[in-house]
Structures are given as structure tokens and as C-alpha cells.
Amino acid sequence: MTEHMNIFEASGLGKRYGSTWALRECTLAIPARHVTALVGPNGAGKTTLLNRAVGLTAPSAGEVTVLGGRLPGSTAALDGIAFVAQDTPLYKTLSVADMLHLTRNLTRRFDQAYAQARLAELGIPLTRKAGKLSGGQQAQVALTLALARRPQLLVLDEPVAMLDPIARHDFMATVLAVASADGMSVLLSSHVLTELERVASYLVLLSRGQVRLAGAVGGLLAAHHQASLEELALNYLRYNPTEVAK
């Protein structure tokens, strides 16, 4: 079942804040078992789309399902999706051990042994307050908490934006390793295109709240005669200027 389902499906999805449409007319199906990069300039609607996938916002128009037909935000969907929000919010006053315990207590499934082993491997002390960790360590703790939930879908919103190059590399390596070993699907947004080059197998290009391109990376590169994901995205946006929003 998990082999062929769509991890994310949107039809006619629109989200309006006041009079501005953050997303409009998005129709999209992302197959499972991919690392999907959600790419686009700032303000393209990436965060809005991800927030919808994890059930944090309701759409103004259209419909979204996740994990093969589940309603975002429903217990069934929450259970299978782990979300690491932008700037990886943790409870700063809680120790890392308490963050683990808190997460375990708020989820149906939590692999405590895995989480502890991974934090030990990273050299992050369990007794340290989350707020006292470096940015890279906080991101790693957030990722560990997410992975220990053994999600079917891992959603990451700008996960590496705040990290230095080494921390970025480590973070992405972990995501890729787990995704390929475990068959976990990943949906991540970023405007750091070079970082996605090595990891993404599926691309969704957003601009001005609309989906411009979507497909497997290999196929898209071949079809548009581009050598890299970065060139593909940049050239596509440059030569296919978006229509002015109605």
C-alpha cells in the first residue's frame, strides 16, 4: 500500500491571508518514497503548503490529502507525519531528555532507544537545556525527535537555513540515509538550491503561490536539457515569467 500511494495530494488548493493569495489553484500529487524538494523564491507559498500538509492551517479553497487519502491534521495523519518547523522550535527551558520524554508522551509511537543512541552519537548531552544548544545541535535534536517517531512522511520547513555548511551537510546526510534505508518519504522546502542537489529525487517548483513544475528530478532535467537542479529551477523561473496574479 505504501509503495504506490501519493504522500501528498492537492486539488485546486488555495490559501488566502486577507486579500492576498499565498497559494492559488495548486493541483499536485507527490508519490511516496521520494525526497521531494519544494523550491521557490521567498514568499512563493512554500511554508503555507507545508503547514497545510501537517494540518496547521485550513485551506481557503480546494482539498488536500496526505498519506494516501488522509485528512491533514486528523489523528491518522498526525500519527504518520513528523514535522520540523522553520527555526526548529524546541521548548528552550526543557532539557533534551525532557524533550524526548515529552515527545514520547505526546505520540503513539516513539523509539526512545533510537533517539538516545543518535543523540549519543552526535555527542549532544541529554541533560543540557534545549535553549543552551547551538543552532546545529538544536536542528539535530529536532530531527532526532522527528525520526524517532518513525514517520511515513517527514516534513521539513527550511531545515538548513540557519545552519553552517558542516551542520547542513550532516543534517541532510541523516535525512537521506534514513529515507533510503527506511523508505520514509521526505518533503522539504528550501531556497538553498545547492543543498538539494544531492538529496532530492522529486521536485516541486513554486512561484507566486502557484505550482510551476512538478516531477521526478531525472525526468525534469532530461526534458528541459539542464545539467543540475539549480540551473533547472533558475532558468525555468527566468524564462517562464509568472503571470501577474489576477
Partner 1 sequence: MTALTMPARSEEDDAGPRPVPWRRMAWVTWRQHRFALGGVAVLLGGLALYLWRIGLQMHHAYATVAACHPASSYACQNQVINFDTVYGPTAQTVATLLMAVSMLIGAFVGAPVLARELETGTFRYAWTLGVGRRRWTLAKLVPLAVMLAVATGLFSLLFSWYYQPLFADGSSIPLDPRLFGLRWVAYTAWTLAAFAIGALVGLLIRRVVPAIAATLAACTGLIFATGLYLRQHYMAPLIGRNLFTPPASAWIISVWWTKGGTVISQSTMNQTMNTLFQQIMLAILPKNVNENDIKFYKGTAIPRVLNHLLHHGYTQWTSYQPGSRFWPFQWIEGGWLLALSVLVISATVWLVGRRAT
Positions in the binding site for partner 1 (CB under 8 A): 1, 54-58, 71-76, 78-83, 85, 87, 89-92, 94, 98, 101-109, 111, 114, 117-118, 121, 142, 147, 149-150, 152, 170, 173-174, 177-178, 181-182, 184
Min separation Cβ 176 and partner 1, Å: 8
Taking the C-alpha atoms of residue 121 and residue 189, their distance in angstroms, rounded to an integer, is 27
Min separation Cβ 133 and partner 1, Å: 15
Q: Which is nearer to partner 1, 142 or 233 (CB)?
A: 142
- Give the distance, in angstroms, between the CA of residue 161 and the centroid of all CA atoms in the same chain: 13
Coil, helix or strand at residue 147: helix
**Is residue 13 a contact partner of residue 23, using CB atoms and an 8 Å limit?**
yes
Min separation Cβ 174 and partner 1, Å: 5
Q: Which is nearer to partner 1, 111 or 231 (CB)?
A: 111
DSSP label at 161?
T
Min separation Cβ 173 and partner 1, Å: 6
Min separation Cβ 196 and partner 1, Å: 18
Q: Which is nearer to partner 1, 190 or 207 (CB)?
A: 190
Please give the single-letter amino acid code of residue 239. Y
Element (H, E) at 22: strand 20-31
Q: Which is nearer to partner 1, 57 or 210 (CB)?
A: 57
**Is residue 172 a contact partner of residue 199, using CB atoms and an 8 Å limit?**
yes
- Cell readout for 175 is 535525512
- Cell readout for 2 is 505504501
Taking the C-alpha atoms of residue 235 and residue 246, their distance in angstroms, rounded to an integer, is 24
Q: Which is nearer to partner 1, 138 or 190 (CB)?
A: 138
